[in-house]
Structure formats: structure tokens, C-alpha cells
Structure 1
Amino acid sequence: MQRILQPGEIEALDNTSFPRVRLPQVASLFAERAARLRQLAVDNPIADYLLFVAKIVDAQHQAQASLVLDTPDAALMQRAQQHSMPLLPAAEHLDPAWHQVLEAMIETLGASNALPEPLQPLLQELAALGVEERNDIAIKLLQKEVAARHVGMAPFIMAAVQVVLAKRASSLDARDVPYTDPASICPVCAGEPVASVLRIGGQAAGHRYLHCGSCCTEWHMVRVKCSHCESTKGIRYQGIEGAGDGLVAETCDECSSYRKLSNQEKDPLAEPLADDLASLTLDLLMSETRFRRASANPLLYVAFAEEQDDDSDELIDPAA
């Protein structure tokens, strides 16, 4: 009797097939990201901010080294695989270990005086928050609900959550990660891609991957396809004149959105999240067009912070 092969089984028959999913390598992920941020800071208009974020990423690297997580619920993962759903949606499976990471990061940043003096009270405020309040803020951030009074805290909270999610994703077997619908969300944590990257090296060479802003998993999506609405119509690329084509904004006429695309063939050191963060000038130019960012950079909220009343519950759109 003949049997219909499933997508994963078809790929397994071809030893030359490229990886559909690239899970994060947490031992080097944050160290490499911090180094890239420092490289991109040279002669950059937002150099001070990039160097500030590099220190946050340094703290992420230190925190991940001692982080030990419980084994994920096998039954939940099996159900997700059966129904082509993300394995561990972040907002629904917020691991308590993220508090441990946040506290370790606060200690590291405080001890090294990494933050400018005006931001030191922010660390104290974060440290004083109760578990329930922290969880509430983290879940709202994952659900794209950002209260104006939490804008300053957002990068630190998302950085701590990101460490746990990336560590969790790194422990998975790529063969267990399901195909999901829509393909524009992370098949591991249901997060949104912060950007995409054309990879070089090995079997991934020449293929485009979406990079999750939450768990840092990457999953393949064919080129010239909108990473937001999945349309293949009206896809165009816009960049800064004279800056080369190592990083461009991929725009979609169908949904009027854009995400940045880094090309490692043009810049082998390109790192999706860091390169997206460092190219704020491109975002400013895109703001003059009809296209809007499809999703935010999880470490960029504070760049747009303004003085707000402490009691304000006004919600802002982090992708605006």
C-alpha cells in the first residue's frame, strides 16, 4: 500500500534540502548580537542608544549561561503539532523563570553602572515590581498592548522574556516544529518576525528566513512574498540612496506594510534584530510613505519614550 508523505518526511529524503527552521544558538546569540550592535554604532546617528542596548544584550548573555528550564509539556506540544499551531505561544506559556532572568539582568546592569544616571531609578522601579504586575506587563507587551507609562520598562522586560523564550526554543528538535498557518508567525512561540535575512553558509545559503523578535527562531519563507499578509503581488524594495542594498525595506502594496530585509551576501555579519535597530533612519524615511512597520523591534520602545503622567494608561502602537 502506498502512503502519502508529509512535508517533513519529503525533506528528509533529500540530503541536500535546506533547513526549514533555524533554532537559536543561545550560547553565542547574544554575544554576537552585542558585538554587531557595537559595530553598527560607529558613525551612527543613534550610536549612544545602540551602545546602551548592547549593554542590555551583554546582560542577556550573562543571564542565559546559568538558566535552567523545565522540560516543556509534551502533551501540549503534541497537540500543537497535530493542529499545525505554534508549539509554545509565549503569552500563554510565560515561564516564571523570566523573573530570575530579569533580576539577574538588573543586578548586572546596576553593578556595572551600564545605564545612564537618569535611568537608574528605572532599574529600582523594575526591581520593586511584584510578580503579578511584572507578568501583566510582559503579557501585554507580547500581545502588542503597550501602556505609555511602561514604555521605559518595555525593553528590559522584553529582553528578559526573550532570553527564556530563546533558551526554550534552542532545546527543541527542529523536526518537531510544525508548519503553521499563517506562515507569518513564529512556529515556536507565535511571535512576529522583527525582520528577515538572506542567509549565507551551508544548506541555508541563498534562502530567506524570518527572524522572530521574541524567541529568535528563524523559519523559511520564499523571497518576494510579504512576510505580513503573504501576498506575492506588489512586493518592492526600498533603501537609502548610497547605502547599498545590504539592508532594504520590503514593502507590500496589498497590505501597505513593510519589514526590513538584511542580506548576508552583501554584509556577512548582518544580524536581523541588531541591523533593524540600527537602521532607524530608514524607518524615518518610510514614515513619509504610506507603508507602516508590520511589527516592532522589542528593544526599541524606549527610543520613542516621552514624558508621560505616571498614572497614564494610554496605549501606544509600538509598530507605529
Structure 2
Amino acid sequence: MTQRILDPQQIQALDPSAIPRIRLPERLGFFSTRATRLRHLADHNPIGGYVRLMAALVDAQQQALENFRAALPSREAIESAQRHSMPILPALAGERDPQWRAVLYRLADRVEAAGAVAPALAKVLDELRTLNEAQLDAQADAILAQRYTEIAPAIAPFIVAALQVVWTDLASRIDVQDVPYVDAPGVCPVCGSPPVASIVRIGGAYQGYRYTQCGLCGAETHVVRVKCTNCDSTKGIAYHGIDGGSPALKAESCDDCRTYRKIGYQEKDPDFEPLADDLASLTLDLLMSDAGYRRASPNPLLWPEVPGDQ
């Protein structure tokens, strides 16, 4: 007599009470929701001008996403990723849809058309347009691998934005049941990139559960609370906020790896958006730096000027 052994994905599919492991981005409104949040957070913000610029860029991302389709992985590639517990859409695979460069140029054009362009921004966009394909791909490679000494911080947000369109498109069209289990802590099982922040969600099947949001593809992965999203430790976890600041936003620090990531609570602010709220809370980053902690990974739309200065 033989006994059939179910893998974890099959068990989860059969159990209606199971915690949803992955929350894939919904392409309809994914970036526009983020842009709206950025504009709201820009008011009375020390970097309000920059936050508004990023809102214009994110608006351009939504427009680009609506008319973009990248090539999905083959069934063979999906099954190989599952067998080896590797991300299904690996950002560091060495290959990416060459359409990403056309997306980049469209984003730059739309940001420019959105309003008056300050001289500093005009210079950045001009520099971006002078780079050839090899140089653009080299920048993309460095950003995805977080090789800080090779990254040009001023143009990096625009390159990231184009890459986000590609991977968000892909992540929005895959089958959630195809997403492998990945052993490495702090790695997105969809694309292998680090999360930008985490969110404790409200509503439906996600009520009360904490998810990390990938900074590249936007997929969210369930992670139990009071656990480091960088090293998986459950010891020495603490939460930090700013007096008079939003009660919905905290920095979750880990004494084992001396890193932190921000965490938001939708029950205290239903409009919390991980990447947007992380970007607009630079004061909390300064507080954490003074306390001796470093960011586990940078915000994709704000890259450090000094390598390792996160």
C-alpha cells in the first residue's frame, strides 16, 4: 500500500483556514495607490519635494504597467525553481526583458511632462538618456545586486522604477500556487529581492497577519510577528517610534544582526503603504542610525550616497 505525500503548497490549498503565504500585486491600481499615498505623506515632510517627485514617477509607472507585458517563465523553468527552492522570477538570473529600457525612457518622458522640471532633475534625466544599453544594464545589475560602489544614486530611482514595472507585471500574472518555498530569510520567493518594509494587514483572509513587501516585484510574503525579517531571529526584537509621530509606523530592530526595517499597522492607518511610508519617514531612519542600527536594505526610490550608508 502506498501513501501519497502532499507538499506544503498542496496542504495549504486544501486547508481553508491556512494563512495566505503570498499576496501578489494587483496590477490595476498598484502604483496609483502608492502615488496617492506619497502625495499625502509629502505634506509637512522634510523631504516633501522629493516625495512629490517620486509620486510623479510612480504615477508614470502605473501608466507604463497598463500597456506592458513581459514574457512569463516556461513551465519547465517554474518546475525547476520549485525543485530547487529558488525564486520563480529571479532578478539576479542575468537575463531580463530588454523592454525594460524602453520603459525607462517612457518614465523619464512622463515625469518631465508632468510639470516644471528643476535644473537638477533635468541634468539627471539628460544623464540618463546619454547612457548606452551596456551602461544601463550595468547600472541595473549593480542595483539588483546592491553593489553600492557601482550605483549612481541620482539615476538609480528611475532605473529601479523601470525594473519594478517589469517585475510587478510578471508577479501580477503568475499563479500564486506556483511560487516556491525559499529557505533564505528575507528573500522574496517570487523574485529573490529583499523586502522594503512590512505591514500588518486588515481585512478578509489577511486580517491581523504580517507581510513583508518586496521592493522590486511588490509581492508580499507572510512572516510571523516579532521576528527579524533580515536574519530570522526572534531574540532581541524591539520597536521604535517618534514622539508625536504616526502610531501606525514603527522601526523593528534586531539586536542579533543590528539591522531594522519599518513596520506599519493598517488597523491604525488603513492607507499605510510599505514603500511610500518607508520613504517618507526619513526622520525615523536618522533616529535608528543614532541608536546604532543600520537599514537591512535601502528604499528602492532613495539610494545612499555613500556605500553601506543605509
Match of 1:316 in 2: 307
Structure 1 residue 71 displacement after superposition: 2.7
CA distance in 1, matches of 2:283, 2:158: 23
**Counterpart of 1:245 in 2: which secondary structure?**
coil
Whether the 8 Å CA contact 1:55–1:114 is kept in 2: the answer is no
Aligned equivalent of 2:275, options 249, 270, 273 = 273
Structure 1 residue 18 displacement after superposition: 2.7
CA distance in 1, matches of 2:234, 2:151: 39
Deviations 1:254-292, CA, capped at 9 Å, x for gaps: 111100001101100000000000110000111111211
Match of 1:186 in 2: 188
CA distance in 1, matches of 2:34, 2:57: 11
Deviations 1:90-132, CA, capped at 9 Å, x for gaps: 1223221211210111221223345323211221221221111
Deviations 1:169-202, CA, capped at 9 Å, x for gaps: 1110110001101131000110000000001111
Match of 1:293 in 2: 295
Q: Which moved more, 1:26-35 or 1:62-71?
A: 62-71
Structure 1 residue 148 displacement after superposition: 6.7
Aligned equivalent of 1:284, options 283, 286, 290 = 286
Deviations 1:214-240, CA, capped at 9 Å, x for gaps: 111101111111000001111111111
Match of 1:248 in 2: 250
Normalised by the size of structure 1, how large is the TM-score?
0.92
1:270 partner letter: F
Deviations 1:35-67, CA, capped at 9 Å, x for gaps: 000111121121111111101111111111111
CA distance in 1, matches of 2:39, 2:298: 21
Structure 1 residue 165 displacement after superposition: 0.7
Match of 1:68 in 2: 69
Q: Which moved more, 1:220-229 or 1:244-253?
A: 244-253
Match of 2:163 in 1: 161
Q: Which moved more, 1:5-14 or 1:196-205?
A: 5-14
Match of 1:108 in 2: 110
1:91-240 to 2 correspondences below 5 Å = 91-92=92-93, 93-113=95-115, 115-147=117-149, 150-240=152-242
Q: Which moved more, 1:282-291 or 1:242-251?
A: 242-251
Whether the 8 Å CA contact 1:186–1:192 is kept in 2: the answer is yes
Specify whether residues 149 and 291 from structure 1 end up closer, same or farther in structure 2 by C-alpha distance, changes over 3 A only. closer
Match of 2:85 in 1: 84
Structure 1 residue 84 displacement after superposition: 0.8
Match of 1:25 in 2: 26
Specify whether residues 170 and 114 from structure 1 end up closer, same or farther in structure 2 by C-alpha distance, changes over 3 A only. farther
**Counterpart of 1:99 in 2: which secondary structure?**
helix
Deviations 1:14-43, CA, capped at 9 Å, x for gaps: 223231101111221110000000111121
Whether the 8 Å CA contact 2:103–2:162 is kept in 1: the answer is yes
Q: For the aligned residues, what is the CA RMSD? A: 1.5
Structure 1 residue 72 displacement after superposition: 1.7
Match of 1:55 in 2: 56
**Counterpart of 1:219 in 2: which secondary structure?**
strand
Normalised by the size of structure 2, how large is the TM-score?
0.95
Aligned length: 308
1:143 partner letter: A
1:157 partner letter: I
CA distance in 1, matches of 2:159, 2:219: 19
CA distance in 2, matches of 1:140, 1:73: 26
Specify whether residues 3 and 256 from structure 1 end up closer, same or farther in structure 2 by C-alpha distance, changes over 3 A only. same
Unaligned runs of 5+ in 2: none
Whether the 8 Å CA contact 1:77–1:87 is kept in 2: the answer is yes
Deviations 1:284-304, CA, capped at 9 Å, x for gaps: 111111211100001012xx5
Whether the 8 Å CA contact 2:196–2:214 is kept in 1: the answer is yes
